[in-house]
Structure 1
Amino acid sequence: MASLTAAALKTLFSLLACVMAVSLVYGFATDYFVSCFDPKARWMQVGLFDFCVDVSLIAAWFFYKESRWILRLVFIFILFWFGSFTICGYIVLQLFKLSPEESSKDPFYFVLLRRQKRDAIGHTGGVSVGTTRTIYLSLACLLIGGIVFVFVTDGSPFRAEVFSPCMVPLLTDLFIHVVVFSVWVAYKESSWINALVWILLIIFFGGIALCAYVVRESLYLSSEQPAYLILFNKRGRDMTLNASLLMEHDNV
């Protein structure tokens, strides 16, 4: 069953990468993405902020996975310009790196897990749980404030003039983000009802719901635990912590 899941994920994210590639070509061919940077297009700015909130979580996962700073900087640059095409491509690459044993056990866990030998499953530094909670609470508040401000000053987003050529790749990107995070939520939640509720919230409220989910997951961790444990479900957190304890014991 897990092997079939890994194969399905490869197919899904490969297709999403192709969809995003077509959308990027359309955006470039239409107006060279000029409309993406129109200072008067306030709903576009809100969409870009939502995009940045989504990307921040992907970037945090990548920073956990990859220790080389040059690789991190290159990834962030490519991620900003190519969005979910980069994300889906990276996920597919991680899926193909799985051994048959990992694919048959828990492909979600091993895709999320860091690969480096040193501190591969132990503490890797980075921001604390409290800092992570504060960051995503602040992002949620900023996003809510931005939406309210633009709605009051610019009106409803459901107008023909709002949908510039750049909206096509942006909305495609945000839709693919919803799929990516929906898969992640489905992996993390033990109850399908909880998973469905959170997926619907992410569909309708985007980055606001995603920030709320990250904050909620951070509440399950103590202040001493590393923030990257938010990535894993309960079973994955236990596996990671147990392996970390074994490594520390072996190093004594």
Structure 2
Amino acid sequence: MAKISVATGLKTLFTVVGLLMVATLIYTLFIDGLPFRKELLTPWMAATLIDFYINVVVLAIWVAYKESNLVSSILWIILLVCLGSITTSAYIVVQFLKLSSQESSQDPMYYVLLRHPNKNDIAPQRKHSSVMTLRILFSILGLVMLGTLVYTAVTAGSPFRLELLNPWSAATLVDFYINVVALAVWVAYKESSWISAVFWIILLICLGSIATSFYIVLQLFQISAQDPAYLVLVQHGDRSENKYKGISGQAT
């Protein structure tokens, strides 16, 4: 029952935050017009957008892994790029709705995070591992964001100035932090200690995609370069793949 409550709670959470972002988008369009205006692109707005889209890269890689159909994968990623956390929330809710009652009662986060194998899958866990590629990619993204943060702070001063807070920058921050909520749920699921979970979630809130990138790199270094990269999604105790093979057996 507790696991089912988790699934229900997370479906409700992401339905609410998704609708919140839809309302924020409509309200901001109504009071401030379209966002494609040169005066809105301040140095700190540009840095926020870089921060935002690095987190989108994380979510897009997960979506690309989850979707067995190339067309649906591309469609969801385009929606992520264009609609941000509205798409993130909708996609997560859809994944929870796809769970069977048995999966919801056993470990809903596990089954939502991993792709459900089917008869048309060609043993995804046997494909060439992309662990090394992902280590390099997220190390670079983390350093890019760190460099962007330092450069913007040096050239544009502090971001904590009232004149920087316009309707579209506020909407962008809401969009950014809803994606952070999604990543924070994953971190809370992965971490066995609530102290380490709270620590990483605070870093996600304060440092954004810098913390996201380096957390992922740290997780990637906890599996070998020969392991399938999807193991980074799950808790350490589930990395034996026995559970995953169990899903495969049920699916076939």
Q: CA deviation at 1:27?
A: 2.7
- Taking structure 1 as the reference length, the TM-score comes to 0.90
The one-letter amino acid paired with 2:50 is F
Give the direction of change, closer, same or farther, for the CA distance of 1:67–1:149 in structure 2 (3 Å limit): same
Tell me if structure 1 keeps the 8 A contact 2:129–2:227: no
How far apart are 1:161 and its partner, in Å? 2.5
Moved more, 100-109 or 64-73: 64-73
Unaligned 5+ runs, structure 1: none
Query: Is residue 129–residue 225 contact of structure 2 (8 Å, CA) maintained in 1?
Result: no
| Corresponding residue SS for 1:212 | helix
Cα distance between partner residues in 1 of 2:124 and 2:242: 7
1:161 is matched by which residue type in structure 2?
E
How far off its partner does 1:70 sit?
A: 1.8
Deviation string, structure 1 residues 106-160 (Cα, Å, up to 9, x no partner): 0000111112414487427476111101111111111111111111111111122
Q: Report deviation, 1:234.
A: 1.4
Q: Are 1:128 and 1:227, in contact at CA under 8 Å, matched by a contact in 2?
A: yes
Cα distance in 2 for residues equivalent to 1:120 and 1:192: 37
| Alignment TM-score, normalising by the size of structure 2 | 0.90
Shift of 1:97: 0.9
* Alignment map for 1:25-174 (pairs within 5 Å): 25-29=26-30, 30-35=32-37, 38=39, 40-117=41-118, 118-119=120-121, 122-123=124-125, 125=127, 128-174=130-176
**1:17-72, CA deviations, whole angstroms, 9 ceiling, x for partnerless residues?**
1111111112322221124x658511111111111111111111111111222222
CA, structure 1 residues 187+127, in 2 after alignment: closer, same or farther (shift >3 Å)? same
Go from structure 1 to structure 2 and tell me whether the alpha carbon gap of 1:103 and 1:41 turns closer, same or farther (over 3 Å shift): same
Query: Is the contact made by 2:129 and 2:226 (CA closer than 8 Å) also made in structure 1?
Result: no
Corresponding residue number in structure 2 for 1:177: 179
What is the number of equivalent residue pairs in this alignment?
247
Q: Which residue of 1 aligns with 2:225?
A: 223
Structure 2 unaligned blocks of 5 or more: none
- CA RMSD across the alignment: 2.3
Percent sequence identity is 38
